[in-house]
Chains A and B, each alone.
Chain A
Amino acid sequence: MARQPDGPPPPPTVQKLRLRYTKRGPLRFASHRDLARALERALRRAQVPMAFSAGFSPHPKISYVGAAPTGAASEAEYLEIGVTRPCDPEAVRLALDAALPPGIDVVECVAAQEGTGGLAERIDASVWRLELPGVEPAELGSALAAFLAKDVVEVARRTKSGMRDVDARAAVAAATAGGEPGCGMMTVVVRQVTPAVRPDDVVAALAAVADLRPPSPPRAVREAQGRLDDTGTVADPLGPDRLASTHCQGERATV
Chain B
Amino acid sequence: MTGETLYPRLEPLLAQVQKPIQYVGGELNAQVKPWDDVAVHWALMYPDAYEVGLPNQGLMILYEVLNERPDALAERTYAVWPDLAGLMREAGVGQFTVDSHRAVADFDLLGVSFATELGYTNLLEALDLAGVPIHAVDRDETHPVVVAGGHAAFNPEPVADFVDCAVLGDGEQAVGDITDVVKAWKEQGRPGGRVELLARLARVDGVYVPRFYAVSYGPDGAIASVARTRDDVPARVGKRTVMDLDEWPYPKTPLVPLAESVHERMSVEIFRGCTRGCRFCQAGMITRPVRERTITGIGSMVDQGLKATGYQEVGLLSLSSADHSEIGQLAKELADRYEGTNTGLSLPSTRVDAFNVTLANELSRNGRRSGLTFAPEGGSERIRRVINKTVSKEDLVRTVTTAYANGWTQVKLYFMCGLPTETDEDVLEIAELATEVIRAGREASGRKDIRCTVSIGGFVPKPHTPFQWAAQASAETIDNRLRLLRAAINSDRRIGRSIGMRYHDGKPGVIEGLLSRGDRRVGRVIERVWRDGGKFDGWSEHFSFDRWTAAATEELAAFGVDLDWFTTRERTEDEILPWDHLDSGLDKEWLWEDWQEALNEEEVSDCRWTPCYDCGVCPTNGTEIQIGPTGRSLLPLTVV
Binding site for B on A (CB under 8 A): 2-3, 5-7, 25-27, 29-31, 33-35, 37-38, 40-45, 47, 52, 56-58, 70-71, 99, 101-103, 133, 216-217
Query: CA A77 – CA B20 in complex, angstroms?
Result: 20
Q: In the complex, given contacts A43-B310, A44-B310, A217-B16, what are 19 additional A-B residue pairs having Cβ atoms less than 8 angstroms apart?
A: A5-B366, A5-B367, A26-B7, A26-B26, A27-B24, A29-B14, A29-B23, A29-B24, A30-B21, A33-B260, A34-B258, A34-B259, A41-B256, A45-B309, A103-B26, A133-B12, A216-B12, A217-B12, A217-B15
- Which residues of A lie under 8 Å from residue B27 when comparing CB positions? 101
CB neighbours (8 Å) of A44 from chain B are 310, 312
Q: Which residues on B sit within 8 Å (CB–CB) of A30?
A: 21, 258
By a beta-carbon cutoff of 8 Å, the part of chain B in contact with chain A is 7, 11-12, 14-16, 19-21, 23-28, 256, 258-260, 264, 307-312, 342, 366-369, 407, 640
For B368, list chain A residues within 8 Å (CB). 56-57
Q: A99 touching B310 by the CB < 8 A rule?
A: yes
A72: nearest chain-B partner, CB-CB: B15
Do B260 and A47 touch across chains, with their CB atoms under 8 A apart?
no
A31 to B258, CA, bound (A): 9
Residues in chain A near residue B369, CB distance under 8 A: 3
B258 touches A38 (CB 8 A): yes
Indicate if the CB atoms of B310 and A6 lie closer than 8 Å. Answer: no
Prevailing SS type, chain B contact patch: loop
B341 to chain A, nearest CB (A): 9
B153 to chain A, nearest CB (A): 33
Q: Which residues of A contact B28 (CB under 8 A)?
A: 38, 41, 101
A-B CB pair tally, cutoff 8 Å = 74
Q: How far is the CA of A30 from the CA of B22 in the complex (A)?
A: 9
- B335 to chain A minimum Cβ distance, whole angstroms, is 13
B15→A71 contact, CB < 8 A: yes
- Contact at B640–A47, with CB atoms within 8 Å? yes
A58 touches B310 (CB 8 A): no
A39 to B17, CA, bound (A): 24
CA distance A213 to B637 in the complex (A): 60
B206 to chain A, nearest CB (A): 36
Q: Which residues of A contact B7 (CB under 8 A)?
A: 26
- Chain A residues near B264: list those with CB within 8 A: 37
Q: A33-B260, A41-B310 are in contact. Are A6 and B366 (CB under 8 A)?
A: yes
A34 and B21 form a contact (CB under 8 A): yes
Q: How far is the CB of A238 from chain B (nearest CB, A)?
A: 25
Judging by beta carbons under 8 Å apart, are B260 and A26 in contact? Answer: no
Q: Give complex CA distance A57, B368 in Å.
A: 7
Closest residue of chain B to A57, judged by CB? B368
Task: Return B61 CB to nearest CB of chain A, in Å.
Answer: 21
Q: Are B14 and A58 in contact (CB under 8 A)?
A: no
Q: Please name 6 pairs of A and B residues whose Cβ atoms are closer than 8 Å in the assembled complex, sorted by A.
A: A5-B367, A25-B26, A29-B24, A34-B260, A52-B342, A101-B28
Tell me the complex Cα distance, A37–B51, Å.
14
Chain A hits for B259, CB < 8 A: 34
A41 vs B342: C-alpha distance when bound (angstroms): 12
A138 shortest CB reach to chain B, Å: 23
**Closest-CB distance, B407 to chain A (whole angstroms):** 5
Residue of B nearest to A25 (CB): B26
10 residue pairs, one from A and one from B, having the closest CB atoms: A41-B310, A56-B368, A217-B15, A26-B24, A29-B20, A45-B310, A44-B310, A34-B258, A216-B12, A3-B407
User: Which A residues are in CB contact (< 8 Å) with B25?
Assistant: 26
User: What's the Cα separation between A37 and B264 when bound, in Å?
Assistant: 10
| Minimum distance in angstroms from B487 CB to a CB of chain A | 33
Report the separation of the CA atoms of residues A136 and B65 in the bound assembly, to the nearest whole angstrom. 50
Residues of chain A within 8 A of B310, CB atoms compared: 40-45, 99
- Complex CA–CA separation, A156 to B235 (angstroms): 66
Which residues of the partner chain A approach B23 to less than 8 Å between Cβ atoms?
Answer: 29
Cross-chain contact of B26 among A2, A101, A133 (Cβ < 8 A) = A101
Interface-central residue, B15, B28, B312, by most chain A CB under 10 Å: B15
Chain A, Cβ-Cβ closest to B446: A1
Chain A's closest residue to B445 (CB) is A1
Q: How far is the CA of A7 from the CA of B258 in the complex (A)?
A: 34
A27 touches B307 (CB 8 A): no
